[in-house]
């Protein structure tokens, strides 16, 4: 916390690379953080996970730390988001990430900075992953006006670059920090994108859609129904929330007038969306719950609301990598307390289908 937030993020990545690059460092990471238990094993869309706790997209923007994640106990990791072209993100390096410590949140104004799908895929193409890896694809943040076909082509460029890399795709239509907004909330635009992805769906790799947090109920339903129509495998719920849409943070901590909030301010929103989508889909598609997961209780609330898997970032940044093992240990106890022998048995158990 002595460094500016974006600098600290980069330093954390450097430390991760250092420890994961040598035998002693790998042994130390595993000894300190790794935890596993048979009741945490789960299979989702044909993919086997040692546990349901994963890293959310937005942390490893260039896919550089894949060797470290299994050592600290993640069951999977979602890389990116990656864009069709190289993307520097929003201007103001050093002024794109802000900690709201009392609010247990981070204000994010990155704008999808990454090295571009082609360069990243080239580096990862021969990589052997020890846990399932998700590839998050987003649209390059370089246009102030929206062009539908160019945007679809941008997504497909990333998807095609990663055909042989990773275990699933997440198509991120919900970044709140791009110049042209969130145009795929529009029903016609979304249908065009999902139609283009239909060919990808003919392959064996699952495709998920990442949804925004700040949507009206009818907008959520439009996206969910379109995903069902196009047989999309699942939804990632949800992305960040804009400060104007949340009261669950201390206003005096907000010192920048752009960006969106992670962590505690999005916790309730994302869980409510998980509950609604689970009901709307009758539990028939995969749900990955993300937003404000700081403890086993937080993760379990999303699981019992209908989430098959859980992702986090903010709690790891605030509390350190040990939070992954702490959550997994806690999940084992919560499963036992409720009489469940597996994660699958707990999914949706406190949100019975009506």
The single residue listed with the structure tokens 């106990």 is: 73
224, two tokens: 């969910």
Residue 6 has pLDDT above 80, yes or no: no
Closest CA to 140 of 163, 120, 115: 115
Would you list the DSSP string of 278-314? Answer: HHHTTT-SEEEEES---SHHHHHHHHHHT-SEEEESH
pLDDT tens for each residue of 245-264: 888 888 889 888 899 999 99
pLDDT tens for each residue of 172-190: 999 887 877 789 999 999 9
* Choice between 64 and 14, residue whose per-residue pLDDT is larger: 64
Residue length, the chain? 354
pLDDT tens for each residue of 278-322: 999 999 999 999 999 999 999 999 999 999 999 999 999 999 999
Q: What does the domain layout of the chain look like in residue ranges? A: 5-346
Please classify residue 192 by burial: count the beta carbons closer than 10 Å to its beta carbon, then call 0-12 exposed, 13-18 middle and 19+ buried. middle
Residue 94 has pLDDT above 80, yes or no: no
Produce one character per residue of 92-119: b if its CB has 16 or more CB atoms within 10 Å, e if not. Answer: eeeebbbbbeebbbbbbbbbbbbbbbbe
Strands 286-290 and 133-138: unpaired
Q: What dihedral angle (degrees, nearest 10) is formed by the CA atoms of 238, 242, 244, 247?
A: 60
345, two tokens: 């048995």
In this prediction the pTM is 0.96
Residue 201 has pLDDT above 80, yes or no: no
pLDDT for residue 333: 99
Instruction: Specify the CATH architecture of the domain 5-346.
Output: Alpha-Beta Barrel (3.20)
Peptide bond into 238 cis (omega under 30): yes
Residues 6+ apart with CB under 8 A from 149: none
- Three-state secondary structure along 129-170? CCCCEEEEEECCCCCCCCCHHHHHHHHHHHHHHCCCCCCEEE
CB atoms within 10 A of CB 288: 27
């Amino acid at each position: 916390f002595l460094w500016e937030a974006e600098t600290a993020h980069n330093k954390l990545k450097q430390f991760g690379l250092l420890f994961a690059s040598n035998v002693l460092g790998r042994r130390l990471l595993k000894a300190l953080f790794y935890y596993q238990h048979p009741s945490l094993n789960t299979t989702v869309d044909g993919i086997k996970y040692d546990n349901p706790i994963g890293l959310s997209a937005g942390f490893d923007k260039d896919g550089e730390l894949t060797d470290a994640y299994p050592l600290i106990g993640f069951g999977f990791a979602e890389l990116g988001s990656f864009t069709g072209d190289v993307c520097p993100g929003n201007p103001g390096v050093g002024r794109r990430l802000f900690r709201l410590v009392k609010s247990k949140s981070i204000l994010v104004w990155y704008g999808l900075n990454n090295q571009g799908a082609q360069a990243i895929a080239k580096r990862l193409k021969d990589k052997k992953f020890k846990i399932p890896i998700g590839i998050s694809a987003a649209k390059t943040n370089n246009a102030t006006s929206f062009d539908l076909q160019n945007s679809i082509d941008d997504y497909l460029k990333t998807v095609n670059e990663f055909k042989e890399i990773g275990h699933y795709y997440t198509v991120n239509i919900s970044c709140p920090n791009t110049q042209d907004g969130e145009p795929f909330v529009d029903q016609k635009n979304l249908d065009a994108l999902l139609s283009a992805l239909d060919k990808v769906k003919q392959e064996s790799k699952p495709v998920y859609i990442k949804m925004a947090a700040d949507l009206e109920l009818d907008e959520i339903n439009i996206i969910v129904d379109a995903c069902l129509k196009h047989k999309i495998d699942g939804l990632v719920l949800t992305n960040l929330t804009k400060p104007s849409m949340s009261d669950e943070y201390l206003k005096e901590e907000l010192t920048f007038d752009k960006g969106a909030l992670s962590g505690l301010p999005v916790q309730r929103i994302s869980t409510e969306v998980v509950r609604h989508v689970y009901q709307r889909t009758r539990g028939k598609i995969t749900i990955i719950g993300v937003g404000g997961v700081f403890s086993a209780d937080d993760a379990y609330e999303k699981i019992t609301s209908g989430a098959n898997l859980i992702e986090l970032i903010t709690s790891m940044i605030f509390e350190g990598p040990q939070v992954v093992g702490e959550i997994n240990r806690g999940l084992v106890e919560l499963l036992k307390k409720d009489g469940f022998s597996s994660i699958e048995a707990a999914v949706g158990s406190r949100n019975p289908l009506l």
